[in-house]
Structure 1
Amino acid sequence: MTDHSSDLINQVARGIEASRTTSATPPGPTEPRRPQAPAEHIEAINQVFALFRLNYHNQYYAAYPDAEQLNQIKKLWLDSLGDYPVEQILRGARHAIEHSEFLPTLHRMHECCQQGLADLGLPTARNAYLEACNAPSPKAAQRWSHPAVYLAGRDSDWFLLAGSPERDSWPVFERHYRDYCARVMRGETLEVPRERALKRHEPEPLPVEEQLAQLRKLRDETGL
């Protein structure tokens, strides 16, 4: 991590802390604090805005003329995009740059993050969840839209997906699926494991003498 990136991370972190201590809060029970964003996500947001600054130079400075305002906007983006893997955020930024002449809004950035999945043949997390829940058995024999869907379903437990309420199964599946999506975006190739072929056990033929003995026994029992 460069010294410049470290300074940006520290600056955003100080801004977050300052907003917590100086904002006016009415008396009464306070809401539970959201866990502080991981450093890698803060770094990813800084990288996104650095890319935007290089590619949308005039638009960027027109939209973010004030450093304090820029820090507030970064915090908003960090909070809104924090559930995406870092790789998906960065791929979404690249998609925005490659497909639009205009500086993306936060809403557009969400769309670009989803489109980054589609560029790799990955369905959205929601569509992947429905595909996994509705897939018949044997699972490995089905035609999956992407191996990540099968692997996330397998790791989530097929029984959980088939028999548990969505409020229980969806978070488990989503976590596994996002992990596999991140691996794909890092360049890893995923595969659905092949089913092991069942060995066919052909019975060995009986000796001729035993076959004749069984035939005589059958004749005696049937009277033929």
Structure 2
Amino acid sequence: MSATPSASNSPTHTTPVGRRTSGKTSQIPPERKEAITALVSKVFTRLEAIFPRTFSSAFPTVDMLKLSRREVAQELARWPMLPTNQTIERALSEIKRTGNTWPPTIPELIAKLQPSAEDAGMPNSADAWREAVNHAHHPAEHCWRHEAVRLAGQAVGWWELTHTTAQSTWPRLERRFEKHYAALVNRVLAGEELQAQGLIGHEGSETRGAKAERASREAAQQQAEAAGMPHRMNPEQGMRSLRAALGGR
């Protein structure tokens, strides 16, 4: 007769804050643990006030409420940065604006509490994109709001940001920037400090083929400017300038 696994030796049993399911203890400083406990208590107290009629139905027993609070606390304990008061207020405001009459699920609540770029002192994606476009001509001379903005602009390409004339191309460049910037934001929120050398040597990080391609584009631009062609042209302007350069043929 085989023994039935107990909760104490099961590899998937529920564990309190500060412990992993593998059985290893993850030490949390007492002050951080207190901060997490206070944060979770505050959030659930506010949810009870927002949903007075359905809160008790969503969490029908004391044990269910404890388990739910513990799930949120365990997730917050994994985050390098805890939600700020601003983040909490924003999350609760978004929850109220949904018009739902029931409290959010635990996964929904955790997603709402996730810190944003602004919480880490970074501009939002739209502001970062505008800054990158506005200062792409002289990136080395600009004092960037955050290193991540310059890194994302560099990843898209300063040449592309200063020489693209086709309006249909700009949405694609913006999407590329947003993708790179979002990845950098996630790295910062995960506790990583972006190193300054990542900002240095855009040329040094290029492949030989990329350097040759960029040099060719810059040489062509210089030849065009020497021929009196404007810095930015639409296709019709380009054809007129080309015909003039060829003697009207």
**Highest Rg: 1 or 2?**
1
**Fold agreement, TM-score > 0.5:** no
Q: Which has the higher helix share?
A: 1
